[in-house]
């Protein structure tokens, strides 16, 4: 099993993802430079958080043209797992690998704090665990997910909504929505369920010392899927 | 303002000299150094290098009195940042800077470029920045303009720090009319490195290349250093050249590229172009290595057209770096820079003649003995005089203020007072978790970060109560250090070194210089007693608005080390039934308290006292008690006194525990609850640990009293305070 | 040299938190008659070329590809010959 | 109803990192003739008023106060009568 963490200029959660996979999950992981192609033997590619190209223009808008994104699309087509976290999610949206777009948080402010997310589906490679509410940090200025008018219904229909912001008890309420995201959406998958984009940061909560280890559940699920 | 073509350099008149902030004496000195009249470009170079901001002419004699050495100190003041040995082959690099004037004019960009600048100071030493702190002082938030400054500064800091991926883990914010129109924006950065990677800003080998990388040079920020060395006035806006704009994406790339260069061992010295840009970086690097530097300005990447040598040398465009690179390493340097999409521009070489020689269009436009610019810079012995206001203010007897009729609203109002209220609304705008080292987040006594790959943690705090320093600059100076150390001790750390930023008014005024001199004496004495040497810092003078100086505001950034993760101690209560213990001396008056400031709207009364020996002992008890496993929570008492500390300890407990406090009836309750006596720590411990804790205090001859119990869902103090935790919460989270 | 001016605006039904915030701010500053604010981007792009057709073709492509996000934004542009 | 179109652009000497990043991106996408990109803001402001003079006075004020940052930006605007 081999995982890769992409490094774009301006990525800044690349080392955090790398550390969580290597030191906490103890799996084989490489950095993949944005200017190169990824070899065919990667089972899972992670697009980390940060500010690729400074997020100048629009989040993810420039990074999606990086050469590595061609391999990412190719590997995705072959059914390999792709996980976009925060800026990685934004890049996947700009690249059209996931539907919708991001606009600024309703408060117009960057928000860094712990939130709760409800796990809506257990039958994806990323969420094969029983815990239904995760405590996990967000850190973004543009996590306000938007999609065209019939988008939400389509996402529902194909069970593509994986995470929604919720209360600690699991209620999906307006107050629990930190950024204005439509339907409290915090993470979605493609119809084939091998690409996940999520705003919260599982790599920031994979050790109890950091305040929560719920993020580890997501990585464990991926590893279980890949070793099956 | 200078002409834009080199061919029409203005003639040098005494008026031009004085417009450059240089005295006749300075000018004669320049002629002596050069053995001739300076060229226009040379005049510009001397003017920035001899500005207060760059050469510390008013402060350097006094700064020499700071204790700066110690076993752990690898690099004291004088380099880009201080370096401290934390064991395991690792070193922490840290430094604080001010960006007050730029932030007054353009709060967003002023603060953002401040962050960019302090980051560069850290990574040029070879360290990866791992944390930022930002002490901020704003004017009265009920004035719309001040709120505009607050929002601009905070989003400027957030946008830059978040983008480069360095967590902002602590800070402090005070609001006072004293900072109307002249906010203080101090930024501190902390880096971590392998001791072997330490790189100095020094040109050592003649023949080595002088390499420029980063953003192109424009006409922005010319005379920024001079601007920082005068009072703000109505036409400050006009006098400035184009405002500098921060480019965090470039900041991030030069950070990564610089660390790559250093780890590949292909450069012998690096300095960023901060204040005084190309001028400062070239002559300081040459000066430190007793070498010369020759550069050709035609090789400088330029963003604007027809820039004169004067402008090129003085521009303060952001995100620019200068490296000294041995000739045989240039290809590797180019390769690393290219990887990060940076151009490698060779401006010139290091020479043996000790001269800084600047060429432009084939002509030599400046030729100055490099070391002399720093070594021979002017020194001013400023006059100090005890300000008259001190007698007036300290004569006031705060006991004459009536106690509140009802303590419940009094406490709630105090908790909601902008300076005391929770700063969550601020630190949630900062990414404080990136790099996954933040073990204790903002919102506690001090931030704690783990050092991956070791058991070690570091604790960081910044503090500086300008009001105390205004009331008594000597004691205020001591308190600033003591409080910062106390905050760090409460988390379980041992304080080991400080950096500082000294924000004062116009040093040419004897009153102000008295404040400055006394604060320095206080800081120095406290650092000696607490064994926390000064590793560096920054002085910001001329913080005045319409002739009124801001409070004398020294800010201390404290570094502490925790060798065993089990010592890490939270500031909030942990378990129902735990004993609440107050460590430290009795409070005797309300002088200098936020409570008085809120009620009377004036700064009055004697400053709280500070006995350094008591402080040291209290901290020792706290540290030893923590190491002995006796302490469940520790929180230092500061603004707002005991009542606010207890309320915060309730609010910071995960389960929002209440407390029942019984205060000794001999003292006036308002003084006991809101007085800001120093050297006090609020602790909680299991009932079974109480005796040992008391015993430990006794051994050290430190007063300790059990004042209550963690219990229920309300805060109850004698018969006077009875409030639900929810109501405390609501008050404390008021956003100004 | 050809100058292009490109306007990129949000599609009408896409949420515009920034426009909303500016409208609210204007209201609280007592500009009572403002009924709507929307915020877009304005690009000035200079081309080192005198081939108007080629430039226009390029511009059309780059608007779709990079300057706008077709999921949420519309664009329009004008070309001007410049001499500068 | 009056519509206003406001353009806010950076002053010439002020650095424009965004414009630079877009220019570099366009270059690497092989748009070889692009020589400069600068990025500004574009506001559409609707006024519920037919008093053109009052609107213009308001607009001038709000541009200075809120829509632009006079320290680093310039602004200009046009008014249009609308019916919509
Ligand atoms: N500007 C800021 N940036 C980040 N954190 C801040 C800022 N201001 C205050 N904080 C955090 O809020 C908490 C309370 O601040 P303060 O009242 O200064 O604490 P203390 O009195 O214990 O020094 C601290 O954890 C501090 O780090
Ligand atoms: Mg404090």
Decide if pLDDT at B286 tops 70: yes
The minimal CB distance from B242 to the residues D14, D17, D24 is found for D14
The minimal CB distance from A56 to the residues D18, D28, D29 is found for D18
> Strand, coil or helix: what is C32?
coil
CA distances from B717 to B296, B632, B655, B656, B707 (A): 72, 21, 20, 17, 10
Residues of chain A in contact with residue B253, where contact means CB-CB under 8 angstroms, are 9-10
Cα–Cα distance measured from residue C9 to residue C16, given in angstroms and rounded to the nearest whole number: 10
* Cα Rg of chain D, angstroms: 16
Cα–Cα distance measured from residue B230 to residue B677, given in angstroms and rounded to the nearest whole number: 36
Q: Which residue has the higher pLDDT, B19 or A165?
A: A165
Task: Quick: pLDDT tens for A100-132.
Answer: 999 999 999 999 999 999 999 999 999 999 999
Nearest atom within ligand 1 for CA of residue B639:
21
Paired tokens of C54: 């080629």
CB within 8 Å: C69 and A58: yes
Query: Contact B591/B605 with Cβ under 8 angstroms?
Result: yes
> Strand, coil or helix: what is C64?
helix
Task: Quick: pLDDT tens for B173-195.
Answer: 999 999 999 999 999 999 999 99
Q: How confident is the model at residue B236 (pLDDT cuts 50, 70, 90)?
A: low
Ligand 1 near B231 CB (within 6 A): no
Q: How confident is the model at residue B481 (pLDDT cuts 50, 70, 90)?
A: very high
CA proximity to B288, closest of B229, B197, B207, B373: B373
Ligand 1 near B173 CB (within 6 A): yes
Ligand 1 near B172 CB (within 6 A): yes
Cα–Cα distance measured from residue A216 to residue A25, given in angstroms and rounded to the nearest whole number: 8
CA proximity to B443, closest of B568, B571, B559: B571
Q: pLDDT value at position B667?
A: 85
Looking at the CA of B421, name the nearest ligand: 1
Q: pLDDT value at position B197?
A: 92
Q: How confident is the model at residue B239 (pLDDT cuts 50, 70, 90)?
A: very low
Mean pLDDT to the nearest integer, B586-603: 91
Decide if pLDDT at B94 tops 80: yes
Query: Contact B276/B229 with Cβ under 8 angstroms?
Result: no
Task: Quick: pLDDT tens for B544-558.
Answer: 998 999 999 999 999
Mean pLDDT to the nearest integer, B615-636: 98
Lowest mean pLDDT among A9-18, B215-224, D14-23: B215-224
Mean pLDDT to the nearest integer, B726-733: 96
- With contact defined as 3+ CB pairs under 8 Å, the chains touching B are A, D
Cα–Cα distance measured from residue B346 to residue A40, given in angstroms and rounded to the nearest whole number: 40
Mean pLDDT to the nearest integer, D35-61: 94
Indicate the DSSP class of residue B37.
Answer: P
* Probe site for chain A from C23, C69, C75 (most A CB atoms < 10 A): C69
Mean pLDDT to the nearest integer, B105-109: 92
Q: pLDDT value at position B580?
A: 98
Query: Contact B500/B556 with Cβ under 8 angstroms?
Result: yes
Q: Would you list the domain boundaries of chain D? A: 2-81
Alpha-carbon torsion, ordered B446, B449, B450, B456, to 10 deg = -50
Q: Kindly report the backbone phi and psi dihedral angles of residue B381, in degrees, each rounded to the nearest multiple of 5, phi listed first.
A: -90, 100
Q: pLDDT value at position B721?
A: 97
CB within 8 Å: C1 and D35: yes
Q: pLDDT value at position B222?
A: 79
Paired tokens of B290: 């007793």
Q: How confident is the model at residue B232 (pLDDT cuts 50, 70, 90)?
A: low
Q: How far is CA B63 from the centre of its chain?
A: 16
Decide if pLDDT at B213 tops 70: yes
Q: pLDDT value at position B228?
A: 60
Q: pLDDT value at position B681?
A: 98
Q: pLDDT value at position D81?
A: 83
Q: pLDDT value at position B225?
A: 59
Cα–Cα distance measured from residue A148 to residue C13, given in angstroms and rounded to the nearest whole number: 8
Task: Quick: pLDDT tens for B387-436.
Answer: 999 988 877 888 888 999 999 999 999 999 999 999 999 999 999 999 99
The whole-angstrom distance between D24's CA and the closest CA on chain B is: 10
Q: How confident is the model at residue A222 (pLDDT cuts 50, 70, 90)?
A: very high
Ligand 1 near B171 CB (within 6 A): yes
Query: Contact B209/B325 with Cβ under 8 angstroms?
Result: yes
Q: What is the domain extent for residue A162?
A: 3-227
CB within 8 Å: D26 and C66: yes
CA proximity to B306, closest of B212, B218, B213: B218
Sheet arrangement for strand B447-450: B438-440, B447-450, B457-463, B553-562, B494-503, B534-540
Concerning whether B53 is annotated as a catalytic residue, the answer is: yes
Paired tokens of B442: 């903002």
CA proximity to A182, closest of A174, A190, A194: A174
Ligand 1 near B464 CB (within 6 A): no
The answer to whether residue C12 neighbours chain A at the CB level (below 8 Å) is no
CB atoms within 10 A of CB B260: 17
Task: Quick: pLDDT tens for B631-658.
Answer: 999 999 999 999 999 999 999 998 889 9
The whole-angstrom distance between D74's CA and the closest CA on chain B is: 13
Q: pLDDT value at position B235?
A: 54
Q: pLDDT value at position A223?
A: 98
DSSP codes, B552-585: PEEEEEEEEEESSGGG---SS--STT-EEEEESP
The minimal CB distance from C71 to the residues A100, A105, A107 is found for A100
Q: pLDDT value at position B6?
A: 44
Q: pLDDT value at position B227?
A: 59
DSSP codes, B194-261: EGGG---S---STT-EEEEEESPB-STTTTHHHHTTS-B-TTHHHHS-SPP---HHHHHHHHHHHHHH
Q: What is chain C's mean pLDDT, rounded?
A: 92
Q: Which chain D residue has the Cα nearest residue A55? A: D18
Cα–Cα distance measured from residue A110 to residue A143, given in angstroms and rounded to the nearest whole number: 9
State the DSSP H helix or E strand holding residue B615, giving kind and residue range, or none if neither: helix B612-627
Task: Quick: pLDDT tens for B423-473.
Answer: 999 999 999 999 999 999 999 889 999 999 999 999 999 999 999 999 999
Cα–Cα distance measured from residue B305 to residue B301, given in angstroms and rounded to the nearest whole number: 11
Nearest atom within ligand 1 for CA of residue B638:
21
Residues 6 or more apart whose Cβ sits within 8 Å of residue D42: C7, C8, C9, C39, C40, C41, C42, D5, D6, D7, D8
Decide if pLDDT at C79 tops 90: yes
Max mean pLDDT range (A172-176, D14-18, D54-58): A172-176
Q: How confident is the model at residue B12 (pLDDT cuts 50, 70, 90)?
A: confident
Q: Kindly report the backbone phi and psi dihedral angles of residue B659, in degrees, each rounded to the nearest multiple of 5, phi listed first.
A: -150, 150
Terminal C-alpha separation, chain D:
8
Q: What is the CATH number of the domain that holds A167?
A: 3.40.50.880
Name the β-bridge partners of D64.
none
Q: Which chain A residue has the Cα nearest residue B160? A: A54
CA atoms within 13 A on the CB side of B8: 7
Residues 6 or more apart whose Cβ sits within 8 Å of residue B675: B587, B588, B589, B590, B593, B595, B608, B641, B642
Interstrand relation of B534-540 and A44-47 (parallel, antiparallel or unpaired): unpaired
Decide if pLDDT at B3 tops 70: no
Task: Quick: pLDDT tens for B661-693.
Answer: 999 878 899 999 999 999 999 999 999 999 999
Query: Contact A185/A73 with Cβ under 8 angstroms?
Result: no
Q: How confident is the model at residue A98 (pLDDT cuts 50, 70, 90)?
A: very high
C81 C-alpha vs ligand 1 centroid, how far in Å? Answer: 56
Q: What is chain D's mean pLDDT, rounded?
A: 91
Ligand 1 near B637 CB (within 6 A): no
Q: pLDDT value at position C84?
A: 46
Q: pLDDT value at position B374?
A: 86
DSSP codes, C42-53: EEEEEES---HH
Task: Quick: pLDDT tens for A40-91.
Answer: 999 999 999 999 999 999 999 999 999 999 999 999 999 999 999 999 999 9
What is the percent of chain B where pLDDT is above 90? 81
Three-class SS of B273-336: CCCCHHHHHHHHHHHHCCCEEEEEHHHCCECCCCCCHHHHHHCCCCCEEEEEECHHHHHHHHHH
Cα–Cα distance measured from residue B126 to residue B124, given in angstroms and rounded to the nearest whole number: 5
Question: B115, B149, B171: which to mutate for ligand 1, most atoms within 8 A of CB?
Answer: B171
Ligand 1 near B136 CB (within 6 A): yes
CA distances from B549 to B148, B181, B231, B508, B596 (A): 21, 11, 9, 12, 22
The answer to whether residue B677 neighbours chain A at the CB level (below 8 Å) is no
Cα–Cα distance measured from residue B532 to residue B521, given in angstroms and rounded to the nearest whole number: 15
Decide if pLDDT at B249 tops 90: yes
In the block, tokens 């979605």 appear at A188
Q: pLDDT value at position B610?
A: 97
Q: How confident is the model at residue B230 (pLDDT cuts 50, 70, 90)?
A: low
* Probe site for chain C from D31, D49, D53, D64 (most C CB atoms < 10 A): D31
Q: pLDDT value at position D70?
A: 87
Cα–Cα distance measured from residue A19 to residue A22, given in angstroms and rounded to the nearest whole number: 5
Cα–Cα distance measured from residue B467 to residue B394, given in angstroms and rounded to the nearest whole number: 12
Q: pLDDT value at position B331?
A: 97
The whole-angstrom distance between D70's CA and the closest CA on chain B is: 10
The whole-angstrom distance between C28's CA and the closest CA on chain A is: 16
CATH of C2-81, one of 3.30.1280.10, 3.40.1080.10, 3.30.230.10, 3.40.50.970: 3.30.1280.10
Q: Is A209 exposed, middle or buried (0-12, 13-18, 19+ CB in 10 A)?
A: middle
Nearest atom within ligand 1 for CA of residue B441:
25
Q: pLDDT value at position B29?
A: 93
Ligand 1 near B732 CB (within 6 A): no
Question: B134, B160, B172: which to mutate for ligand 1, most atoms within 8 A of CB?
Answer: B172
Q: What is chain A's mean pLDDT, rounded?
A: 97
Interstrand relation of B553-562 and B457-463 (parallel, antiparallel or unpaired): antiparallel
Interstrand relation of B345-351 and B269-272 (parallel, antiparallel or unpaired): unpaired
Q: Which residue has the higher pLDDT, D22 or B244?
A: D22
Domain count, chain A: 1
CA proximity to B572, closest of B657, B447, B644, B639: B657
Q: pLDDT value at position A188?
A: 98
Query: Contact B645/B635 with Cβ under 8 angstroms?
Result: yes
Paired tokens of A66: 């990086």
In the block, tokens 């006035």 appear at B233
Q: How confident is the model at residue A215 (pLDDT cuts 50, 70, 90)?
A: very high
Three-class SS of B329-391: HHHHHHHHHHHCCCCCEEEEEEECCCEEEEEECCEEEEEEEHHHHHHCCCCCCCCCCCCCHHH
CB within 8 Å: D14 and B220: yes
Cα–Cα distance measured from residue B65 to residue B63, given in angstroms and rounded to the nearest whole number: 5
Decide if pLDDT at B714 tops 90: yes
Concerning whether B20 is annotated as a catalytic residue, the answer is: no
Q: What is chain B's mean pLDDT, rounded?
A: 93
């Amino acid at each position: 099993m081999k995982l890769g963490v992409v490094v774009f200029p301006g990525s800044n959660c690349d080392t955090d993802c790398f550390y969580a996979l290597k030191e906490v999950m103890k799996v084989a992981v490489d950095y993949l430079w944005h200017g190169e192609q990824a070899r065919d033997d990667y089972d899972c590619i992670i697009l980390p958080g940060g500010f690729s190209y400074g997020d100048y223009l629009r989040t993810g808008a420039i990074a999606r043209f990086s050469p590595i994104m061609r391999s990412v699309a190719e590997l995705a087509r072959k059914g390999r797992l792709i996980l976009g976290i925060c800026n990685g999610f934004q890049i996947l949206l700009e690249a059209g690998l996931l539907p919708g777009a991001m606009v600024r948080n309703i408060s117009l402010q960057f928000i860094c704090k712990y939130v709760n997310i409800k796990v809506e589906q257990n039958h994806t490679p990323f969420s094969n665990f029983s815990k239904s509410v995760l405590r996990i940090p967000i850190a973004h200025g543009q996590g306000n997910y938007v999609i065209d008018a019939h988008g939400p219904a389509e996402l529902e229909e194909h069970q593509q909504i994986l995470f929604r912001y919720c209360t600690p008890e699991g209620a999906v309420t307006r107050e629990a929505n930190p950024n204005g995201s439509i339907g409290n959406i915090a993470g979605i998958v493609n119809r084939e369920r091998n690409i996940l984009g999520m705003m919260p940061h599982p790599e920031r909560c994979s050790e109890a010392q950091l305040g929560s280890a719920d993020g580890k559940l997501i990585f464990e699920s991926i590893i279980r899927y890949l070793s099956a | 303002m200078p002409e834009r073509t080199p061919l029409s350099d203005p003639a040098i008149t005494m008026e031009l000299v004085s417009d450059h902030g240089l005295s006749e004496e300075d000018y004669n000195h320049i002629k002596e150094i050069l053995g001739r009249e300076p060229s226009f470009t040379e005049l510009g170079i001397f003017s920035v290098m001899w500005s207060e901001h760059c050469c510390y002419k008013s402060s350097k004699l006094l700064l020499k009195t700071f204790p700066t050495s110690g076993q752990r100190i690898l690099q004291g003041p004088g380099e880009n940042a201080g370096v401290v040995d934390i064991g395991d082959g690792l070193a922490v690099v840290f430094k604080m800077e001010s960006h007050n004037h730029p932030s007054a004019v353009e709060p967003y960009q002023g603060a953002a470029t401040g962050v960019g600048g302090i980051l560069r100071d850290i990574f040029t030493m070879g360290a990866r920045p791992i944390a930022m702190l930002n002490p901020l002082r704003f004017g009265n938030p009920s004035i719309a303009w001040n709120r505009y400054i607050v929002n601009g500064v905070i989003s400027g800091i957030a946008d830059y720090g978040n983008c480069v991926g360095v967590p902002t883990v602590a800070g402090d914010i005070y609001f006072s009319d004293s900072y109307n129109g002249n906010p203080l924006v101090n930024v501190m950065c902390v880096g971590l490195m392998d001791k072997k990677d330490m790189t100095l800003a020094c040109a050592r080998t003649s023949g080595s290349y002088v390499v420029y990388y980063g953003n192109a040079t424009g006409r922005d920020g010319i005379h920024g250093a001079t601007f920082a060395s005068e009072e703000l006035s109505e036409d400050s806006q006009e006098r400035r050249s184009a405002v500098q704009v921060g480019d965090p994406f470039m900041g991030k790339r030069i950070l990564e590229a610089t660390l790559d260069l250093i780890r590949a061992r292909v450069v012998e010295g690096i300095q960023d172009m901060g204040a005084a840009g190309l001028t400062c970086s070239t002559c300081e690097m040459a000066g430190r290595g007793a070498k010369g530097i020759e550069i050709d300005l035609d090789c400088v990447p330029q963003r604007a057209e027809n820039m004169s040598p004067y402008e090129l040398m003085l521009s303060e465009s952001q995100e620019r770096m200068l490296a000294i690179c041995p000739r045989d390493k240039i290809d590797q340097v180019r390769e690393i820079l290219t990887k990060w999409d940076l151009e490698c521009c060779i401006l010139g070489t290091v020479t043996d003649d000790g001269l800084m020689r600047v060429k432009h269009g084939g002509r030599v436009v400046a030729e100055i003995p490099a070391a002399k610019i720093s070594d021979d810079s002017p020194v001013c012995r400023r006059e100090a005089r005890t300000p008259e206001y001190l007698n007036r203010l300290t004569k006031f007897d705060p006991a004459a203020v009536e106690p509140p009729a009802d303590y419940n609203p009094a406490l709630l109002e105090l908790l909601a007072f902008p300076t005391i209220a929770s700063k969550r609304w601020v630190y949630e705008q900062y990414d404080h978790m990136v790099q996954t080292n933040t073990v204790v987040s903002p919102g506690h006594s001090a931030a704690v970060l783990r050092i991956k790959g070791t058991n070690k943690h570091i604790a960081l705090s910044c503090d500086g109560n300008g009001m105390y320093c205004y009331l008594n600059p000597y004691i205020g100076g001591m308190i600033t250090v003591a409080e910062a150390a106390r905050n760090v001790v409460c988390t379980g750390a041992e304080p080991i070194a400080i950096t500082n930023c000294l924000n004062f008014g116009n040093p040419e005024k004897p009153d102000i210089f008295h404040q400055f001199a006394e604060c320095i004496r206080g800081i120095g004495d406290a650092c000696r007693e607490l064994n926390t040497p000064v590793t560096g810092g920054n002085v910001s003078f001329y913080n005045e608005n319409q002739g009124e100086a801001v409070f004398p505001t020294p800010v201390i950034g404290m570094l502490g080390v925790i060798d065993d993760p089990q010592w890490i101690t939270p500031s909030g209560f942990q378990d129902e039934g735990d004993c609440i213990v107050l460590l430290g001396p009795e409070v005797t008056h309300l002088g200098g308290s936020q409570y008085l400031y809120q009620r009377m709207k004036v700064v009055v009364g004697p400053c709280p006292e500070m006995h350094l020996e008591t402080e040291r002992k209290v901290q020792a008890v706290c540290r030893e008690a923590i190491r002995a496993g006796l302490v469940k929570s520790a929180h230092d008492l500061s603004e707002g006194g005991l009542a606010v500390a207890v309320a915060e300890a309730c609010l910071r407990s995960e389960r929002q525990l209440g407390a029942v406090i019984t205060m000794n009836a001999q003292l006036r309750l308002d003084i006991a609850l809101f007085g800001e006596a120093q050297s006090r720590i609020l602790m909680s411990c299991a009932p079974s640990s109480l005796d040992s804790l008391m015993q430990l205090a006794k051994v050290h001859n430190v007063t300790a009293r059990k004042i209550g119990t963690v219990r229920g869902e309300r805060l109850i103090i004698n018969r006077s305070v009875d409030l639900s935790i929810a109501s405390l919460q609501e008050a404390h989270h008021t956003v100004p | 040299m050809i100058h292009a001016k490109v306007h990129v605006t949000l599609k009408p039904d896409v949420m515009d938190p920034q426009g909303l915030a500016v409208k609210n701010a204007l209201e609280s500053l007592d500009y009572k008659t403002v009924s709507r604010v929307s915020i877009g981007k304005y690009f000035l792009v200079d081309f080192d070329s005198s081939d108007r057709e080629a430039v226009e073709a390029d511009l059309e492509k780059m608007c779709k590809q990079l300057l706008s996000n077709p999921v949420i934004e519309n664009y329009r542009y004008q070309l001007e010959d410049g001499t500068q």
